[in-house]
A and B are shown apart, each in its own frame.
Chain A
Amino acid sequence: MSFLQILWFILIAVLWSGFFFLEGYDFGIGMQFIFNSRNQDDREALYESIGPHWDANEVWLITAGGAMFAAFPYWYASLFSGFYLPLFIVLMALIYRGVAFEFREHMPTIQGSQLWERFIAISSFIAPFFLGMIFTAMVSGMPMDAKGNLSAGLFDYVTPFTLVGGIAVTLMSYVHGLNYTRLRIIGDIRTRAMTQLKVFYPILLAGEALFAILLFFYTDFFQTKLLWTLVILVAIVLSTVIGWYLTVNLKKEVVPFILSGLTLVEVVILLFVGLFPRLMVADNPLHSLKIINASSSPYTLTVMSFVVLTALPLTLGYQIWSFWVFRKRIIADKVVE
Chain B
Amino acid sequence: MVTLVGILDLARFQFAMTTIFHFFFVPMSIGLAVVVACMETMYVIKKEEVYKKMAQFWSKIFLLSFAVGVVTGIIQEFQFGMNWSEYSRYVGDIFGAPLAIEALVAFFAESTFIGLWSFTWDRFKPAVHVLFIWIVAIASSLSALWILAANSFMQNPVGYAIDNNMGRAELTNIFALLTNKQLWIEFPHVLMGTFVAGGFIIAGMSAFKLLKLKKNDVQVDFFRKSINIALFVGLIGVGGALYTGDQHAFELQSMQPMKYAAMEGVDETIDSSKRADKAQPWSLISVTNPKTHKVVARIEIPYALSILGNHSLTGGKTVGTTELNKKFEKKYGKTHDGIKNYYVPENTLFYAFRVMAMGAGLLGLVAVVALWFNRKKTNLILTQRWFLWILGIMTFFPFVINTAGWLVTELGRYPWVVYGLMTIADAVSPNVSAASLLISNIIYFLTFATLGGVMIWLSRRVLHAGPDAEKEAELSPRDPYEDLAGSEGTAR
Contact = CB atoms under 8 A, between A and B. Distances in A.
Interface of A: 40-41, 44-45, 48, 51-53, 55-56, 58-59, 61-63, 65-71, 73-74, 76-82, 84-85, 87-88, 91-92, 94-99, 101-103, 105-108, 110, 113, 148-151, 183-184, 186, 253-254, 296-297, 299-300, 303-304, 307-308, 311-312, 315, 318-319, 322, 325-331, 334, 336
B123 A325 contact: yes
Contacts of B89: 73-74, 77, 148
A70 B96 contact: yes
Nearest to A101: B67
A262 B172 CA distance: 39
Contacts of B107: 59, 62-63
A44 B480 contact: yes
Contacts of A102: 63-64, 66-67
A91 B78 contact: yes
Interface string B90-112: 01111111011111110111011
Interface residues of B, number: 86
B5 interface: no
A69 B481 contact: no
Contacts of A326: 119, 481
B115 A59 contact: no
B477 interface: yes
Given A69-B96, A303-B171, A98 B71 contact: yes
A184 to B, nearest CB: 7
B170 interface: yes
A55 B94 CA distance: 27
Nearest to A69: B96
Q: State the majority secondary structure of interface residues on A.
A: helix
A299 B168 CA distance: 14
B492 A81 contact: no
B440 A149 contact: no
B463 to A, nearest CB: 11
A113 B476 CA distance: 12
Contacts of B430: 149
Given A106-B60, A328-B481, A81 B81 contact: yes
A69 B484 contact: no
Shortest 6 CB-CB contacts between residues of A and residues of B: A73-B92, A80-B81, A70-B96, A52-B115, A66-B100, A69-B96
Nearest to A319: B112
Interface in B11-63: 60, 63
Contacts of A78: 85
Interface stretch (B202-210, B306-314, B402-410, B454-462): B454-462
A24 to B, nearest CB: 17
B171 A69 contact: no
A52 B432 contact: no
A184 B491 contact: yes
A85 B171 CA distance: 31
A272 B27 CA distance: 38
A329 B81 contact: no
A290 to B, nearest CB: 14
B160 to A, nearest CB: 10
Interface string B104-135: 11011101111110111001000000000000
8 contacts: A59-B111, A66-B101, A73-B88, A80-B85, A99-B454, A103-B454, A296-B170, A318-B113
A300 B97 contact: yes
Contacts of A59: 103, 107-108, 111
A87 B484 contact: no
A99 B68 contact: yes
Q: Which of A77, A101, A331 has the most CB of B within 10 A?
A: A77
Contacts of B75: 91, 95
B72 interface: yes
Contacts of A254: 491-492
B312 to A, nearest CB: 43
B474 interface: yes
B266 to A, nearest CB: 38
Contact of B480 (A66, A79, A331): A331
B488 A329 contact: yes
Q: Which of B72, B108, B432, B447 has the most CB of A within 10 A?
A: B108
B483 interface: yes
Contacts of A65: 77-78, 81, 103
A184 B480 CA distance: 11
Contacts of B489: 186, 328-329
Interface string B433-452: 00010011001000100010
A98 B100 contact: no
B475 A77 contact: no
B462 A106 contact: yes
